[in-house]
Amino acid sequence: MIVYILKRLLQTIFVLWGASLVTFILMNVLPGDPVRLMLEKRATPQAVERIRHEMGLDKPKITQYLDFVKNALKLDLGRSYFTREPVMTALSRRFGVTLRLASSAYAIALVLGISIGVLSALQRGRALDSAVRGVAVLGISAPVFWVAIILQMVFGLRLGWFPISGIRSAGSFVLPAAALGLRHMASISRVTRTSMLEVISQDYIRTARAKGLAENAVILKHALKNALIPIITLAGTELGDLLTGSMLTEWVFAIPGIGKLMVDSILMRDLPMLQGTVLYVAVVFVLSNLAVDISYAFIDPRIRYAKSD
């Protein structure tokens, strides 16, 4: 198991290196001169050259890339062209906000998604199942900004229960977390239902019942653990999605998270910031995939033993 985790970590390093290379190439093939974008139009060619030299942009591309990697290893991703704030500082600050939003939305998605998915499977074909499936379809197909606006109108403006924008209090996270969580809950509940339906028809579930176990023990101990693999796969991807920020939700609720930072840096052509956020997205996805792979091995001994071979 430890060997497996070490191997996966090693692969992760290669994936991150690849991601850094792709990010660097993409930033360099984008049209427009970053120095010209930074400076006013009337800047003299001498001033442009001086800034270019200061930023190391006059060096060969390979040297620039190696400098980028060397600095990235020291957690230095450069400074914003416009605010001069170090990219790492901006990312850390925004990450705190995104993490609060993501963890609330993720809790809603996991707890409700798995619970109603299980209930729906157990009530297959009955009214509850149909209702859950209807809500799931709505949750998946309704655009998140639309759900967000509806929530703002109902719970923010009409009922006045929660703030509709900003992050002034813990209550500010309720509506954006609900808007984001509903969407992810819908997909998790669908996968849970399908996976549970497959598992509860297995012979070992009949064996568990034949042992005299109560139905909740059969479901929680014998069925759910077997149904978890596809749920975890999806939950891992969704965690990555949430941690990299939901641009639309953050925009609608004016939350200064990673998603908004990324949109802002694209709009302002703030290349170091954009490079930093893209690299951050890659890191989050690579780590959440690693977490998913490790959880597979913890849940299913067949995977654990196959991996150790």
Partner 1 sequence: MGDSGTVVLSVKNLQTSFPSRNGKARAVDGVSFDVGRGETLGIVGESGCGKSVTALSIIRLVGEPGRVEGGEILYGGRDLLELPLGEMRRIRGNKIAMIFQEPMTSLNPVLTVGAQISEALRLHEGLGKREAMARTREMLAMVNFPAPEKRAKEYPHQLSGGMRQRVMIAMALCCTPDVLICDEPTTALDVTIQAQIISLIEEQKSRTGAAVLMITHDLGLISEMADRVIVMYAGKIVEEGTKMNVLTNPLHPYTEGLLNAVPRIDRDSGTLDVIPGMVPNLACLPEGCAFRPRCSRASEACLMSPPRFETLGSDSSFHGVNCWLAESAS
Beta carbon of residue 196, minimum distance to partner 1 (angstroms, whole number): 14
Residue count, binding to partner 1 (CB under 8 A): 22
Of these, 65, 145, 300, 307, which contacts partner 1 (CB under 8 A)? 300
Binding region for partner 1 (CB under 8 A) out of 32-40, 141-149, 289-297, 300-308: 300-308
Hey, how many other C-beta atoms are within 10 angstroms of the C-beta on 277?
Answer: 27
Helical ranges in 201-257 per DSSP H: 203-210, 215-217, 224-243, 247-252
Residue placing its CB nearer to partner 1 in the complex, 31 or 212: 212
Residue placing its CB nearer to partner 1 in the complex, 223 or 248: 223
Binding region for partner 1 (CB under 8 A) out of 19-27, 76-84, 166-174, 197-205: 197-205
Amino acid of residue 108: I
Q: Does 50 bind partner 1 (CB under 8 A)?
A: no
Q: Does 222 bind partner 1 (CB under 8 A)?
A: yes
Binding region for partner 1 (CB under 8 A) out of 68-76, 88-96, 209-217, 286-294: 209-217
Among 38, 140, 36, smallest CA distance to 82 is for 38
Q: Does 193 bind partner 1 (CB under 8 A)?
A: no
- What is the Cα 171 distance to its own chain's centre? 22
φ/ψ bin of 45: left (φ > 0), alpha (ψ from -120 to 50), beta (otherwise):
alpha
Of these, 7, 71, 305, 308, which contacts partner 1 (CB under 8 A)? 305
Token code pair at residue 230: 């596809």
The Cα-based distances of 102 to 17, 149, 170, 220 in angstroms read: 26, 19, 13, 27
Q: Does 161 bind partner 1 (CB under 8 A)?
A: no
- Angle 174-200/87-122 helices, nearest 10 degrees? 40
- Contact set with partner 1 (CB under 8 A): 201-204, 206-214, 221-222, 225-226, 299-302, 305
